[in-house]
Amino acid sequence: MPKVVVATRKSELALAQCRKFVSDLIRKHPDLEVEELHVVTTGDRIVDRPLTEVGGKGLFLKEIEEALFDGSADFAVHSMKDVPPDLHPELCIACVPQREDPRDVLITTGRTSLGDLPEGATLGTSSLRRALQLRLLRPDLEVVPLRGNVGTRIRKCRQGEVQATVLARAGLLRLGLEAEADEVLEPETSLPAAGQGCLAIEVRQADQELAARLQVLQDPVAAVLARAERAVLAAVEGDCRTPVAAYAEKRGSRLELRALLANPDGSHLRRRDGAIDWSEDQVAVAEWAHDLGLQLKNA
């Protein structure tokens, strides 16, 4: 296959992470030529409303997957946290590359920390997960909707449209903007979204030769952690309307998993955590994580 087409959103971050993956892929397969197909998704088109109002799953995937189905693209590069846990049966995630830092970061107008924000400060975010967790520590914060790409949200905060916002550190690192972060939020403060920091390389199930080429960049640890987190997401049937978080880590010989879930209005917050031996196979890990998610859902 001398030439293949990769589908990606055309935001600065999407292009940066896609091009980094393609660069790494070509180093492994110098004979491969990769062309970009830029796709505008539903999530990109609707920017004047919170994602919770737009609703549904896969708001940043639908049009990209259509390009895979109609043959205009051969594989796609996604942010894993945008990928619903249940894929179309004709598609699969062929590769999960090395994970970037999954933590959230705080960006503020006054270059301060969460604890030092003024009373009643405005927190711009459209993430129910982030809003819920930060208001547990700062109930006085006024949460206001804030959408846009990474640069837009940073600019709006620095210009004072909001006094603080929260972004994924992975995105800042991939764009070379890590210095913009005023505070890195540990998981104890802001538990990350399932798959945050991971990429998902999606391909048609039938394209086994291409899948095999993509798999040379698979990171086995990242793949297991993402699968465990996504199993929790599947169990609770989480989407953008649900404040849900799941974060797995490899600690020595164990996989440790923490998760939280609340009602859409932030009420009935519950948490679960657990650990399983790292030597268990991926199917067993996913089943265990799914069970933990069911406990969370039914608590």
CB–CB of 247/41 below 8 Å?
no
In the chain, which residues fall in CATH 3.40.190.10? 1-97+198-218, 104-185
The pLDDT of residue 52 is: 64
Q: What is the CATH number of domain 1-97+198-218?
A: 3.40.190.10
What is the Cα–Cα distance from 62 to 7, expressed in whole angstroms? 12
CA-wise closest residue to 239 among 113, 94, 60, 109: 60
Tell me the CATH number of domain 104-185, given options 3.40.190.10, 1.10.3720.10, 3.40.960.10, 3.10.20.740.
3.40.190.10
CB atoms under 10 Å from CB of 235, counted, come to 23
The correct answer on CATH 3.30.160.40 for the domain covering 219-299 is: yes
The pLDDT of residue 255 is: 98
- Structure-block tokens of residue 66: 């259509």
Spatial neighbors of 152 by CB under 8 A, at least 6 apart, are: none
The pLDDT of residue 56 is: 55
The pLDDT of residue 42 is: 80
Distances from the Cα of 124 to the Cαs of 26, 110, 121, 142, 183, in angstroms? 39, 14, 10, 8, 15
CB–CB of 149/13 below 8 Å?
yes
How many residues in total does the chain contain?
Answer: 299
Average pLDDT, the chain: 94
In the chain, which residues fall in CATH 3.30.160.40? 219-299
Q: Is 2 left (phi over 0), alpha (psi -120 to 50) or beta?
A: alpha
Catalytic residues: 82
For the chain, 299 residues long, the average pLDDT of each consecutive 10-residue run is 91 96 97 96 72 66 95 97 93 98 97 96 95 96 92 95 97 97 97 98 97 97 98 89 94 97 93 96 95 96
What is the Cα–Cα distance from 204 to 118, expressed in whole angstroms? 50
The pLDDT of residue 90 is: 96
pTM for the model: 0.94
